[in-house]
Amino acid sequence: MSDINLLTPGRIGGMATRNRIMMAPMTRSRAHEDGVPSDLAITYYEQRASAGLIITEGVAPTAVGRGYARTPSIHSAEQIAAWKKIADATHAKGGRLFMQFMHVGRIAHSGNRYTAEPPIAPSALRAAGQMWTDANGLQDFDEPRALETGEIPGVIEDFAQATRNALAAGFDGVELHSASGYLPMQFLSAHTNRRTDAYGGSVNNRIRFVVEALEAMIAAAGSSGRVGMKISPGIVFNDIQELDPVGTIETYTALLKAIDPMQLGYLHVLQSAFPNTFEALRPFVSVPFAAGGGFTHETGDAMLAAGKADFIVFGKPFTSNPDLPVRFEKSAPLTPFTPDTFYTPGAKGYTDYPPL
């Protein structure tokens, strides 16, 4: 056992963090239709600056990567300028932020997009399920178009350009969202990736997209410590079917072995269907290991003290407790979160939770 706890200072790449608490990436659907984050997001993020690291909501690197209503992007000058206001305000409060890149791939509906381009995916397989649209309520996912092999370098370059854009906006780094059934995970999972070229089939081929995207993001950032990644092996979400624990852990072990020499700023793992995901993957990760999914003050401290993680990621508790680390420090009660306002427009349930 060590004496490290949630409030112990930490380090990500060359950056010191004031504690071991990360705010989880959380889509809050308060951006404008054109992918520009609203000014409300300035308040929302600066209110949460006491986190050791804020990981932003999922941000689309390109217009084709946006799938949900009122979610933000980072490809236009206007979007970059709006994100800069958010980064500046959060930094002024002593906060640190990484921007999460969420390319939805096939998890999209045309009613939520500001491009006429169809969604792209490793294979032309429509995801089972529905998503919310403001105009017509719940709708089936659109059928995606399968990427041509020759188009993949361009998609990877979009992640590199988004990295340059996020750093130009003043962000401390970027996170590749390879979890939750979005584009990178659609390449990782055999169920969604039926390709027969170098990006599909064998484990080494299925991890290729993620490896190349990280390489491009690191080159764009000029430092691997400014790049993190989120994974969620075996998650049951967005029609991902990684049902076989052995094969799934084999895929992720191969991925982690391939990327460990890159020395990312951190690896962020969401606990999902399999009980021992953290224990199974940790031996292959020599960079800071950030564990997330259902943690409390007590279980987070215990995980750090046991050396099973270096950071703990908190999601839902941060929605209703903007000063969550301060509350942990003072052992103050937490305000319960309100799922009804997770994705609704406006300040209600977003910026109106007071600090202690």
Ligand X SMILES: Cc1cc2nc3c(=O)[nH]c(=O)nc-3n(C[C@H](O)[C@H](O)[C@H](O)COP(=O)(O)O)c2cc1C
Nearer Cβ to ligand X (200/227) = 227
Q: Which residue is nearest to ligand X (CB)?
A: 315
DSSP letter for each residue of 64-123 = GG--STT--B-SSHHHHHHHHHHHHHHHHTT--EEEEE---TTS--GGG-SS-SPPEESS
Nearer Cβ to ligand X (26/280) = 26
In angstroms, give the least distance from the CB of 319 to ligand X.
Answer: 7
> Which residue do the tokens 């041509």 mark?
148
Distances (CA, A) of 317 to 287, 296, 314, 324, 334: 26, 9, 6, 7, 8
In angstroms, give the least distance from the CB of 197 to ligand X.
Answer: 28
Residues of this chain that interact with ligand X (CB under 6 A) are: 24-27, 57-58, 100, 102, 177, 179-180, 230, 270, 292-295, 314-316, 342
In angstroms, give the least distance from the CB of 202 to ligand X.
Answer: 27
In angstroms, give the least distance from the CB of 149 to ligand X.
Answer: 28
In angstroms, give the least distance from the CB of 339 to ligand X.
Answer: 7
Nearer Cβ to ligand X (64/102) = 102
Give the span between the Cα atoms of 92 and 336, in whole angstroms: 28
Nearer Cβ to ligand X (180/251) = 180
Nearer Cβ to ligand X (59/285) = 59
Q: Give the number of other Cβ atoms within 10 Å of residue 233's Cβ.
A: 26
User: Could you tell me which residues are beta bridge partners of residue 7?
Assistant: none
Give the span between the Cα atoms of 17 and 11, in whole angstroms: 5
In angstroms, give the least distance from the CB of 323 to ligand X.
Answer: 16
In angstroms, give the least distance from the CB of 271 to ligand X.
Answer: 8
Nearer Cβ to ligand X (90/195) = 90
> What angle, rounded to 10 degrees, do the helices at 40-47 and 77-92 form?
30
**b/e sequence 305-322, b meaning 16+ C-beta within 10 Å:** eeeebbbbbbbebbbbbb
Give the span between the Cα atoms of 181 and 309, in whole angstroms: 24
Q: Which one of the listed residues 44, 45, 182, 199 is annotated catalytic?
A: 182
Structure tokens, 3: 């004496």
Give the span between the Cα atoms of 20 and 293, in whole angstroms: 15
Give the span between the Cα atoms of 283 and 256, in whole angstroms: 10
Q: Say whether 114 is catalytic.
A: no
DSSP letter for each residue of 303-352 = HHHTTS-SEEEE-HHHHH-TTHHHHHHHTPPPPPP-GGGSS-SSSTTTT-
213 and 154 Cβ atoms separated by less than 8 Å = no
DSSP letter for each residue of 321-334 = -TTHHHHHHHTPPP
Name the residues annotated as catalytic.
182
